Chain A
Amino acid sequence: MKISNDKRKTLRLLIFLLSALLVMTVSAAVYNYMYLQASPISAKTAKVVFANGSDATAAGTSVGTNGTSVKFTSMSGWPNATRVYENATVIKNVDTAVSFVCLLSRDSWSGNTASIDTLYVRIYNAAGTLQGTLDVKASNTTTFTIPFGATWRLEWNIKWSATALSTDTITVTLAFRVTGEGTGE
């Protein structure tokens, strides 16, 4: 039986492909398993929480469930005058042993931001000493360490420009990062 050269070449190619497929199959079948287990991932009481300050009513302060978020819905200001909400909300470190490093930064802002002259968020300790200032317009950050058991107040300082209109509004979202876990975690 005589096989033509073309058929022979085709057969060789087929054998080569089958061999390659065999090699690939054998390679993929060799591996190692490693396991990462998180158990339990538990829900714990927040150690740093927001609460209403004495200006909560004026500022429209609404503290989220568990004190881990806060929203202000009725802050305003007069053009070319500075409006100060000295105690819109307080930040409490409810841990009994651990101080927390906190970082406050602007997450986003939108609306008539060009009509804002200055917008500061300031943190004061119970003695009234300034602990940090966030310049929202400049979008810097501020870091402070709140001792265990302390309650500090958060002040909003808003100045609309002289040309601001009574229809102007902005929305500001700040990110508040609390480093660490605290005791009992």
Chain B
Amino acid sequence: MKAGCYITGIFSIILLATMLASVADGSVYNKYYVQASPISAEKPKVILQQGTAGTSTIYTNNTSAKVSVTAFEREFYKKETINYAWESVTSLISGSRGDDVGVWINLPWNFSYYGVNKTRIYLCSNGFGVFDIATTDYSNTLQELADRKKIAPFWDDLRTDTSASAGIFAENKTSPNRVVIRWNTTRYGASSDIAQFQSVLFSNGTIQFNWDVFVNLPNFSFTSGIGNGLGKYIDVTSDLAANKSIRFTPIQREVGYANHVTTYLNETLTVTTPLSGSRGDDVGVWFTLPWNFSYYGVNKSSIYLCSNGFATFDVAYTGYSNSPSAMANRKMIAPFWDDLRTDVNSYDGIYSENKTNPPRVVFYWRTTRYGDSSDVANFQLVLFQNGTIQFNWVNFVNLPDFSLTSGIGRGDGTCIDVTSEIGGGKSLRFTPNNIFDHVLKVTNQVTDNWKIRLRAYAQSNIGRLYNCTIYFYDGGGVFRQIYIYNGVYSQQFGNWYNLTGLSTVYIAMTVSAAGTGNSYVYVYLEVLVPGTSTYNLMIITFEVS
């Protein structure tokens, strides 16, 4: 009886507590509504497209992609032993005598080192030259060579001041154009140990080491070779011997162009008169370029501008009969090739102006169609110093009345025909692919501006990637986004890049791997609406095999 009372009491307490709890927790609430209507699917405004390197798979709607590449290093130089070619060089460089000293010298021309032009080199008493950053380090390893843009014929702890004849000597020579640098050194702490050697820089990018005399060579602890500053080097330490020459010859690549519509630009010119001789019918004029312009990999110093809306290299030409095949058989850049006149209106003609930032020359045609001066064609050709070509189609009147060809011809029967792209207020760019290999293109299909960047969000087996860089390239600059060094991220996402209306940017990569296997880097391409935190995430998978 007593137990029954307890059970009843406990049950009553639990029941009461449950009732109280439910009242306190859930009995008073407010209900709001959140409605999203409509949430719509729209056509992508920024899309991914295939590149020129690796294998890229673009998925439905061009909003995600997979890139498969094989880890490789582009070989810039071919190494070969040549006949011993010691040269006489007697001009001592001021400031080059001493211990751990160095001095900058200017080069007489742009010297292409691993594909990048250099205008000067820092010569150090410790047996090397280095670009970009002065260093006088005597401790030498292959890793340090790889981490510097260094040309090291004989890198060791040396002195250039222990005898009257010691020092660093340099002279510019011609036929072929070259700079010869000679070191006359002794080993630090033992002036009887002697090393005499040379480095020769040729204007075509070739590098040569001439090893002359070494006394007590086994006493040295040296490194010899060249480094690219990005983890790559060519080691010739074991090749070293007295009275021997070795040469690094740049490997020439097949050059082509990638063309894409870019942000429209109508270059403003300050010149008010056309080039002399550029006004007329079927006339032309030679123009000397401000620098050598590389066209399909061959430097050109002048260009022939024709009133019929094109320019040619090597040969003056004024033909008006146009076709893609005719363009292909000439070294021709034709923004708007047709039967045109440049002498109907007072302002007609071909104008030119050299500009900077970036270095470029702008040609502006103001023309009318032959036989009907009411049909107008105004357009520009821009040649950039880095080899990029751009057409700016400014404005046209009665465009359908013209019968034109537009593009660039190589002169070997091949061309890039962009006639179908023509329209007023539009620009198109040809970017030489010797500047880059790209794995993907990012194309803005609308006039809206976006900001884009890459962000790695996952990975697999990247420990074997000792040097992997993924970057944007827009024909004018490189914008690094992701960098993996020695198997770990050194940079996991990049700075925002402004993807302006109707423009294209390339995604390129360099990669080196240790050992075999597959590595994956999973990346978001973030496409941001400027000024907001509204963005799109497009998945790109990079597979490195």
Name A residues whose Cβ lies closer than 8 Å to a Cβ of B: 46, 48, 50, 54-55, 57-59, 68-73, 75-87, 89, 104, 107, 111-112, 115, 119, 154, 156, 158, 160, 162-181
Contacts and interface: CB of A to CB of B under 8 A. Distances in A.
Given A172-B35, A178-B29, 16 more contacts: A48-B32, A54-B533, A70-B32, A76-B40, A76-B42, A79-B44, A80-B61, A80-B64, A84-B533, A86-B534, A166-B41, A173-B36, A174-B34, A175-B34, A177-B31, A179-B28
Contacts of B539: 81
Contacts of B36: 71-72, 75, 156, 171-173
B357 interface: no
B33 interface: yes
Interface of B: 25-26, 28-45, 59-61, 63-64, 529, 532-539
A180 B32 CA distance: 13
A115 B41 CA distance: 9
B32 A178 contact: yes
Given A69-B34, A179-B29, A84 B535 contact: yes
Contacts of A107: 33
A158 B39 contact: yes
A168 B532 contact: no
A107 B59 CA distance: 34
B534 A55 contact: yes
Nearest to A87: B533
B34 A80 contact: no
A172 B177 CA distance: 73
Contacts of A89: 34
B30 A82 contact: no
A70 B34 contact: yes
Contacts of A50: 32, 34
A176 B60 contact: no
Contacts of B537: 81-84
A125 B122 CA distance: 55
B445 to A, nearest CB: 11
Contact of B35 (A68, A72, A76): A72
A41 B40 CA distance: 42
A184 to B, nearest CB: 14
A106 to B, nearest CB: 10
A75 B25 CA distance: 35
A43 to B, nearest CB: 12
A70 B64 CA distance: 33
10 contacts: A58-B532, A77-B536, A78-B536, A87-B533, A115-B41, A167-B41, A171-B39, A173-B35, A177-B32, A179-B28
A177 to B, nearest CB: 5
Contact of A177 (B30, B44, B61): B30
Contacts of A79: 41, 44, 60-61, 63
B32 A81 contact: no
Contact of A76 (B32, B39, B64, B535): B39
B455 to A, nearest CB: 12
A48 B34 CA distance: 13
Contact of B59 (A162, A167, A176, A181): A162
Contacts of A54: 532-533
**Among the interface residues A50, A104, A178, which one has the most CB atoms of the partner chain B within 10 A?**
A178
A80 B59 contact: yes
B534 A58 contact: yes
B41 A76 contact: yes
Contacts of A59: 534
B32 A176 contact: yes
Given A57-B532, A81-B536, A85-B534, A163 B38 contact: no
B536 to A, nearest CB: 5
Contacts of B43: 78, 166
A78 to B, nearest CB: 4
Contacts of A119: 39
Contacts of A83: 534-537
A21 to B, nearest CB: 43
A44 B48 CA distance: 53
Nearest to A108: B35
A57 B37 CA distance: 15
Contacts of B30: 46, 48, 68, 177-179
A46 B32 CA distance: 11
A106 B38 CA distance: 15
A163 B60 CA distance: 7
A87 B61 CA distance: 27
**Among the interface residues B63, B532, B534, which one has the most CB atoms of the partner chain A within 10 A?**
B534
A85 B532 CA distance: 9
B44 A81 contact: yes
A85 B534 CA distance: 5
A77 B33 contact: no
Contacts of A75: 36, 38-40
Given A55-B532, A72-B36, A80 B31 contact: no
B292 to A, nearest CB: 44
A168 B41 contact: yes
B42 A78 contact: yes
B489 to A, nearest CB: 21
